[in-house]
């Protein structure tokens, strides 16, 4: 029998599918009068402006992603400035006519940015003498101190964490996305959390720290810790997850959160009032229903695992060495990670011509696997649940057609069983068998990809596009309704890696949240909700809009 939470989640998922005959429910137009303010502020909170980090080279993309690039940096004010600047800050302002808007290091569906970030830390040299909880304000690249924590409380928290750790919490203001996308907004907010998680893990890798999601913390405890327990109403901000960042001194200690919250948790004094984002709102009750169902169903600790095998930043494991020999040897070797992070952009149009060479493509595929020690997938403490169905359009020496990257090898038989009988499942020439990449059907899929992605040309005009298909109903039954958000996080992380890989390959990517759900399933032959497509993506040669001017992210930068 299904729990009420699972019923709510499955019903929400079904109700927010786009169909050829109708899109998921939304206002259907943009009500500019109620457009939400893109920046959350806590009025009255003490603000600490973070330094603009010096351009300094830092590790290469390849070294950072493989975690083999020297000792962890010291935690101080510059560290914190760098961490946020490389993950959640503004990356540029854009201008067209009288309009001006900010882009950020982390992407967001519709550039609406529902995700907020919070630092929870002990005393940090040159930043804070006391432990504190601070909201990151990207517009000013500053921290708003929401609470000073007692020494006793921080000691209690630190006991549960690896040596020298700090925490970053992520939350979502659903209204920001719902204003434009209505009922499908909850999905997009969770994709965005996934992108932000990856952005944080990759920024941490640049500082030679590791990042891991803290499993098992109850949503209510997390809301308490981030100062969001009283958030309510149309602009309610939901605490989503907590990331533990640490320098990797006690490498093999698994992360465990004791069930009981620290005794002093409820006595924290919060400062600052959240700014109001819109003058009025349209109600979308189902997004709050699904958010509550997810939050009320904790993802149990004993069913998610794998983090303890994370290699120390400077270490190596036999498995990782093997993977390095197999593929991806020099992808991103000559390119500074931070240059890639800050130049990441979504392509708004693709040229329909640029081709990708096969070695680069296979290196990209290799980087989409969860391999011990390799960033950023180790941030997630569960076996991969998302497989990738590629629409290959323009890759040298690879026949155009439909392909599958199986991200969890053991699931290959299940995938074969669930998809169309006439799929070939052949290893393409030039691709190592261990990659888990299979040709399903050769053919020109440009029109199909465009059609399935709500008629968007970017799905057809790139080198390839893809559908992220999750092991869905079974995993939700096993891990609980709370795992629904986690599946989107995994997709968002894959998307963030694709964005950065595209930049390394001198291409650009774009996340695609608008696709027709069941027509995708029909193409693949998927007949039940055992597997569901949760996110699409495209990579190719981008075409810029010459009318748009780019301005620096902050004065003097």
DSSP 318: H
Nearer to ligand FMN, 147 or 368 (CB): 368
In the complex, the smallest distance separating the C-beta of residue 189 from ligand FMN, rounded to whole angstroms, is: 9
CA 122 to chain centroid: 26
Q: Determine if 8 is a binding residue for ligand FMN (CB under 6 A).
A: no
Nearer to ligand FMN, 214 or 350 (CB): 350
Q: Are 313 and 209 in contact (CB under 8 A)?
A: yes
Nearer to ligand FMN, 93 or 425 (CB): 93
Looking at 153-161, 184-192, 402-410, 462-470, which segment touches ligand FMN (CB under 6 A)?
A: 184-192
In the complex, the smallest distance separating the C-beta of residue 115 from ligand FMN, rounded to whole angstroms, is: 10
Nearer to ligand FMN, 418 or 458 (CB): 458
Token pair of 187 as six digits: 């999905």
- The rounded distance, in Å, linking the Cα atoms of 117 and 143 is 10
Q: Determine if 401 is a binding residue for ligand FMN (CB under 6 A).
A: no
Please enumerate in sequence order all residues whose Cβ is within 8 A of that of 465, keeping only pairs 6 or more positions apart, or say none: 390, 391, 393, 449, 453, 458, 459, 512, 536, 537, 538, 539
Looking at 75-83, 176-184, 185-193, 288-296, which segment touches ligand FMN (CB under 6 A)?
A: 185-193
Nearer to ligand FMN, 105 or 157 (CB): 105
Q: How many residues sit close enough to ligand FMN to count as binding (CB under 6 A)?
A: 20
CA 472 to chain centroid: 18
In the complex, the smallest distance separating the C-beta of residue 86 from ligand FMN, rounded to whole angstroms, is: 14
**Residue 237: strand pairing partners:** 173
Nearer to ligand FMN, 328 or 513 (CB): 513
Nearer to ligand FMN, 472 or 535 (CB): 535
In the complex, the smallest distance separating the C-beta of residue 109 from ligand FMN, rounded to whole angstroms, is: 4
In the complex, the smallest distance separating the C-beta of residue 240 from ligand FMN, rounded to whole angstroms, is: 14
Nearer to ligand FMN, 62 or 104 (CB): 104
- Pattern of binders to ligand FMN over 506-545, x per CB under 6 A? ----xxxxx-------------------------------
Based on C-alpha coordinates, what's the Rg of the chain?
22
Phi, psi of 441 (to 5 degrees): -160, 125
Q: Determine if 345 is a binding residue for ligand FMN (CB under 6 A).
A: yes
Q: Which of 295, 346, 362, 465 binds ligand FMN (CB under 6 A)?
A: 346
In the complex, the smallest distance separating the C-beta of residue 429 from ligand FMN, rounded to whole angstroms, is: 33
Q: Determine if 217 is a binding residue for ligand FMN (CB under 6 A).
A: no
Token pair of 427 as six digits: 């290893």
Q: Which of residues 68-87 bind ligand FMN (CB under 6 A)?
A: none
Q: Which of 78, 192, 310, 490 binds ligand FMN (CB under 6 A)?
A: 192
End-to-end CA distance of the chain: 57
In the complex, the smallest distance separating the C-beta of residue 338 from ligand FMN, rounded to whole angstroms, is: 16
Q: Determine if 182 is a binding residue for ligand FMN (CB under 6 A).
A: no
Residue-wise burial string across 117-146, b where 16 or more C-beta atoms lie within 10 A, e elsewhere = bbbbbbebeebbeebbbbbbbbebbbbbbb
Q: Are 463 and 391 in contact (CB under 8 A)?
A: no
Please enumerate in sequence order all residues whose Cβ is within 8 A of that of 318, keeping only pairs 6 or more positions apart, or say none: none
Q: Which of residues 456-475 bind ligand FMN (CB under 6 A)?
A: 456, 458
Q: Are strands 237-246 and 210-213 parallel, antiparallel or unpaired?
A: antiparallel
In the complex, the smallest distance separating the C-beta of residue 350 from ligand FMN, rounded to whole angstroms, is: 10
- The rounded distance, in Å, linking the Cα atoms of 555 and 258 is 44
Nearer to ligand FMN, 297 or 496 (CB): 496
Q: Determine if 190 is a binding residue for ligand FMN (CB under 6 A).
A: no
- The rounded distance, in Å, linking the Cα atoms of 3 and 515 is 29
- Pattern of binders to ligand FMN over 359-388, x per CB under 6 A? ------------------------------
Q: Determine if 66 is a binding residue for ligand FMN (CB under 6 A).
A: no
- The rounded distance, in Å, linking the Cα atoms of 449 and 392 is 10
Nearer to ligand FMN, 456 or 485 (CB): 456
- The rounded distance, in Å, linking the Cα atoms of 106 and 149 is 29
Token pair of 495 as six digits: 């998307």
Nearer to ligand FMN, 286 or 458 (CB): 458
In the complex, the smallest distance separating the C-beta of residue 498 from ligand FMN, rounded to whole angstroms, is: 11
Nearer to ligand FMN, 344 or 369 (CB): 344
Q: Which residue shows structure tokens 């819109």?
A: 278
Nearer to ligand FMN, 239 or 542 (CB): 542
Q: Are 443 and 400 in contact (CB under 8 A)?
A: yes
Looking at 23-31, 119-127, 191-199, 318-326, which segment touches ligand FMN (CB under 6 A)?
A: 191-199
Phi, psi of 190 (to 5 degrees): -75, -35
Looking at 190-198, 202-210, 227-235, 464-472, which segment touches ligand FMN (CB under 6 A)?
A: 190-198
Q: Which of residues 98-117 bind ligand FMN (CB under 6 A)?
A: 103-104, 107-111
Say what angle helices 285-296 and 174-181 make with each other, to 10 degrees: 140
Say what angle helices 77-85 and 185-206 make with each other, to 10 degrees: 140
Token pair of 175 as six digits: 């209204």
Q: Are 56 and 342 in contact (CB under 8 A)?
A: no
CA 301 to chain centroid: 21
Residues that bind ligand FMN (CB under 6 A): 103-104, 107-111, 188, 191-192, 195, 345-346, 456, 458, 510-514
């Amino acid at each position: 029998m299904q729990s009420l939470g699972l019923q709510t989640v499955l019903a929400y998922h079904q109700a927010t599918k786009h169909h050829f005959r109708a899109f998921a429910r939304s206002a259907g137009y943009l009500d500019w009068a109620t457009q939400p303010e893109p920046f959350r502020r806590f009025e009255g909170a003490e603000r600490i402006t973070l330094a603009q980090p010096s351009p300094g080279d830092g590790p290469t993309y390849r070294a950072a992603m493989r975690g083999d690039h020297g000792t962890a940096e010291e935690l101080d004010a510059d560290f914190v400035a760098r961490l946020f600047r490389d993950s959640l800050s503004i990356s540029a302002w854009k201008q067209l006519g009288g309009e001006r808007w900010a882009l950020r290091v982390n992407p967001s569906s519709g550039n609406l940015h529902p995700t907020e970030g919070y630092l929870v830390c002990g005393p940090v040299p040159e930043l804070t003498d006391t432990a504190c909880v601070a909201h990151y304000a990207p517009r000013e690249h500053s921290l708003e101190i929401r609470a000073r924590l007692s020494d006793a409380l921080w000691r209690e928290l630190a006991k549960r964490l690896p040596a020298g750790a700090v925490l970053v919490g992520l939350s979502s203001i659903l209204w920001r996305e719902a204003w434009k996308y209505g009922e499908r907004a909850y999905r997009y907010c969770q994709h965005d959390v996934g992108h932000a998680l990856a952005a944080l893990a990759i920024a941490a890798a640049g500082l030679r720290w590791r990042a891991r999601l803290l499993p098992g913390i109850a949503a209510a405890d997390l809301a308490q810790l981030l100062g969001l327990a009283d958030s309510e109403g149309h602009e309610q901000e939901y605490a989503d997850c907590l990331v533990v960042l640490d320098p990797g001194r006690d490498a093999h200690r698994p992360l465990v959160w004791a069930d009981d919250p620290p005794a002093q948790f409820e006595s924290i004094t919060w400062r600052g009032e959240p700014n109001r984002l819109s003058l009025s709102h349209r109600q979308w009750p189902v997004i709050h229903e699904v958010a509550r169902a997810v939050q009320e169903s904790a993802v149990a600790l004993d069913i998610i695992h794998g983090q303890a095998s994370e290699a120390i930043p400077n270490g190596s494991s036999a498995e990782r060495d093997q993977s390095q020999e197999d593929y991806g040897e020099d992808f991103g070797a000559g390119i500074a990670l931070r240059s890639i992070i800050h130049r990441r952009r979504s392509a708004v149009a693709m040229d329909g011509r640029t081709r990708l060479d096969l070695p680069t493509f296979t290196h990209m595929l290799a980087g989409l696997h969860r391999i011990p020690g390799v960033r950023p997938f180790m941030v997630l403490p569960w076996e991969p649940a998302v497989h990738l169905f590629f629409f290959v359009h323009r890759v040298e020496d690879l026949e155009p057609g439909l392909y599958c990257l199986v991200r969890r090898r053991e699931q290959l038989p299940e995938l074969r069983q669930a998809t169309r009988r006439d799929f070939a499942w052949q290893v393409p020439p030039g691709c190592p068998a261990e990659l888990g990449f299979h040709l399903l059907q050769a053919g020109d899929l440009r029109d199909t990809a465009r059609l399935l992605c709500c008629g968007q040309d970017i799905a057809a005009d790139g080198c390839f596009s893809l559908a992220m298909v999750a092991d869905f109903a079974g995993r939700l039954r096993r891990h609980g309704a709370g795992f629904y958000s986690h599946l989107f996080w995994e997709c968002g992380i894959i998307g963030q890696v694709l964005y950065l890989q595209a930049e390394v390959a001198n291409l650009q990517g774009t996340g695609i949240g608008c696709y027709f759900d069941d027509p995708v399933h029909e193409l693949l032959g998927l007949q039940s909700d055992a597997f569901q497509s949760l996110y699409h993506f495209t990579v190719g040669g981008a075409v810029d809009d010459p009318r748009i001017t780019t301005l620096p992210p902050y004065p003097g930068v």
